[in-house]
Structure 1
């Protein structure tokens, strides 16, 4: 059985106290710190597990049975490195899926399509034909339209042009589920646009990573890009319930692991960091000290300290370590 929210908070507090004690002169090991704090074996076990999950403790090189602390800066760098590696693997899998689709469509689809599972696939490189197909598929939709949008964000004038179509879809009583990448959703004009969709009845969620742009109509028609990194390359149109069902499973997986749009503070776009602040956050995450950051950017140490303090306040962090974690959670940095 998992811990309750209160128990989890208590474990987090114990972990902070244990970690702080480990950093005291003359303590060093987790076991000694636990004794000095008077923790029970069970409290020690839970706190150690919490610190291990955050990458803040490790086995000592000279004594594998002893557990020592890892600096917050090193833990951040390791976490970011692991995250980037996992994201690269995810992108590689998506690229591999596109290669497999192209090979299957070109070489095997003509051999395997039967009357029971009709499937039509068309590759369109003419963007006007793509737009016409999207209009037609939208008009034919009767129950549900789902979509994923990783970015870049559409221009404001395109959003204005689509407002009437969005309203018409909502009035038709369709189930409308839309998933946006968080860093797109918090842009000022996008945040306003999404609030408008939400007021019409759209179900909107946000995620830090959205693998590709995709639209699925009634669970039987789908549109995906030819090249996920170049939307102007065209699109692949897929019409066939059996095949599209697999793509819908991909969407549902991303949907279940996303957050409701309501969880984004209304002023999130106003709190988003500037380009220079993003650079500072990445340097902090890489373990650079204030002095090094100031020299690199050619600004005063006082300016850097003030900027970091402001970023901590806007992200709701109580320490530099938490600022890095919160920056990732808010989608400010990868």
Structure 2
């Protein structure tokens, strides 16, 4: 059977604890008496003294003598030491992250990896979606792009999002958002968009938007699982290459939208409003009134009335003929 280890065989931390235990049992003994009683050698004495001083478990009476402090004070001092070391460690980690970010930004540009993976994460419930949005509000560094087709979001949803919107604006990011023009006609939605502008957002309106989309730093995107239902959940896409393409699509929609303050102007040549042109394009693609209404965020009755007016102006006898004549006149360009 192997003999029990002597104190000198113990690791540094356990050696220091053995000395402190001896001091605590013999309250009148100094550190020097304890190490003599334990039979420690000079290097072990130095190691134990350094560890106990570092943890605040002994204090100096004079240059040649050290005594143990009370266990309660020892615990407090040890916790303070641990907290200080943790703070220093966090600072060191932050410095490392900053250096790595600089290396990535300088020497690992887009396209440096030929086989980039695309990561998809499905978020089924609104709680997880809100959690992701909260996280990205803190993680986004440069730009956030958002696109909002119909139907109008609930007032409560817009109100709850204002804290995130303001936090992003206060961080100095570039923030661009496109809303369906028909949504801006809703009072509380228009008020929300005006508030975003006051925060520093760039806000534009479009007659037609294909899909709801949020893009963060052109690297991450959040899109609905089902474009026709915002309640079906969302998918998170992480891929700089893929999301760059989505951002390019957003930029196209941005160029074809108009500022929030602009009215639905009439085209000088055709006499069509932006709304009329959107209806004609969808009509020419074979979309039914219900699909057009859903895409434009208006009622089916409004679409039917617009289709009737356009068909009459074109002198057409059917929807198909109206689409053909609109194309012949260059109204679909």
Q: Shorter-chain TM-score category?
A: 0.3 to 0.5
Q: TM-score, normalised by structure 2?
A: 0.46
TM-score normalized by structure 1? 0.46
